Amino acid sequence: MEVLMPEPQIYVEKTLAIIKPDVIDKEEEIEDLILRSGFHIIQKRKLQLSPEQCSNFYAEQFGKVFFPNLTAYMSSGPIVAMILARNCAVSYWKELLGPSNSLRARITHPHSLRALYGTDELRNGLHGSLSICSAEKEIRFIFPEAILEPVPTGQRARDYLNLYVKPTLLAGLTALCKEKPADPM
Catalytically annotated residues: 127
Residues contacting residue 29 through CB under 8 Å, at least 6 positions apart: none
* CA angle, residues 21, 26, 31, in degrees to nearest 5: 105
Residues contacting residue 78 through CB under 8 Å, at least 6 positions apart: 21, 24, 46, 47, 48
Give dist(CA 87, CA 14) in Å, integer.
Answer: 8
Residues contacting residue 103 through CB under 8 Å, at least 6 positions apart: 120, 121
> For residue 79, what is the enclosing H or E element?
strand 79-86
- CA 94 to chain CA centroid, Å, is 14
- CA 89 to chain CA centroid, Å, is 12
